[in-house]
Structure 1
Amino acid sequence: MSIAMATQIAPTRPAPGHAVIAITSLLIAVGMLRLLPLRAVLALAGSVQQVAPRHASLDVAREVIRARDWAAAHYPGRATCLDLSLTAFLIAAWRGRHVSWCIGCRFNPSESHAWIEVDGEPVAEPGMFDDPFHVTIRL
């Protein structure tokens, strides 16, 4: 059982079908990233991308993020940005939409990060515009 921090607002539960997709996507993402080499994860994600030919709108991408955040709040382990961004990518694909899955870095301070984008803009990433990350991999 996870306990939300006092400063966090509990994410609202998505529609029942979307909740199942969100939980399943999180478990698949965590499993893939823990069990497979990154090159295999990228290859699988690239093949999933072919299933979702329609680009997501910003509103759909925000719904995906809300569903992902709800699933992550109920996940008993620690989910990193790589896990969460892949989860959002998979949720969008299950819904027949495509978002870009990005992995990048920035310097001074040296950091890496993963996120999703719609039309080249990060979705639900506060602070990304002040000191942007350089995209290393984009699917």
Structure 2
Amino acid sequence: MSIAMATQVAPPRPALGQAAMAATSLLVAVGMLRLLPLRVVLALAGVVRQVAPRHASLDTAREVITARDWAAAHYPGRATCLDLSLTAFLIAACRGRHVSWCIGCRFNPSESHAWIEVDGEPVGEYGMFDDPFHVTIRL
């Protein structure tokens, strides 16, 4: 008798340039969040936002999430939602587009979370918003 095991399907590999941008953005995001105080990271993200003032479309944001997920699947360490959301924010900025980087919480159960949004809608968050998070910081 065999037991079926849950396997995680790796996200599709983006084009070479997008893959390199995603991997680099993930390393930059992890480095920033591990080495700098959060207030400095937020200030730098505010500067990055000014560089990419054009809003991303939902399709562009989904492409960014796909590239981010591919990079995260190949990252040897643990990437948290804060790392992953900042990575998506940076990838979009490298493409000359702006997504909203959100950090928030909810109270029952008590949790914090970080994500990106386009036009006020979370992108790449599946099943996380049955009990919505309250946005604490939005860039």
TM-score (norm 2): 0.94
2:28 maps to 1:28: yes
Which consecutive residues of structure 1, in runs of 5 or more, have no partner in the other structure?
none
Q: C-alpha displacement at 1:129, in angstroms?
A: 3.3
- Residue correspondences, number: 135
**Structure 1 partner of 2:105:** 105
Alignment of 1:89-128 (within 5 A): 89-128=89-128
Q: Deviations over 1:26-77 (max 9, x none)?
A: 0000000000000000000000001111100000000000000000000000
Which residue matches 1:133?
133
Question: Aligned residue for 1:14?
Answer: 14
Is 1:78 aligned to 2:78, yes or no?
yes
CA contact (8 A) 1:106 1:133 kept: yes
RMSD of aligned C-alpha atoms?
1.1
The correspondence of residues 46-85 of structure 1 with structure 2, limited to 5 A, is 46-85=46-85
- Mapped to 2, the partners of 1:113 and 1:7 lie a distance apart of 25
CA distance in structure 2 between the aligned counterparts of 1:94 and 1:69, rounded to whole angstroms: 16
For 1:62, what is the secondary structure of its paired residue? helix
CA contact (8 A) 1:100 1:117 kept: yes
- Structure 1: 4+ residue segments shifted above 2 A: none
Distance 1:31 1:17 in 2: 21
Letter of the 1:127 counterpart: G
Instruction: Give the Å deviation of 1:124.
Output: 1.3
Residue 128 of structure 1 and its aligned partner are, at CA, apart by: 3.4
CA contact (8 A) 1:81 1:113 kept: yes
Measure, in 2, the Cα distance between the counterparts of 1:133 and 1:109: 11
Is the 1:65–1:124 contact (alpha carbons within 8 Å) kept by the matching residues of 2? Answer: yes
Deviation of 1:131 after TM superposition, in Å, equals 0.5
SS of the equivalent of 2:12 reads: coil
TM-score by length of 1: 0.94
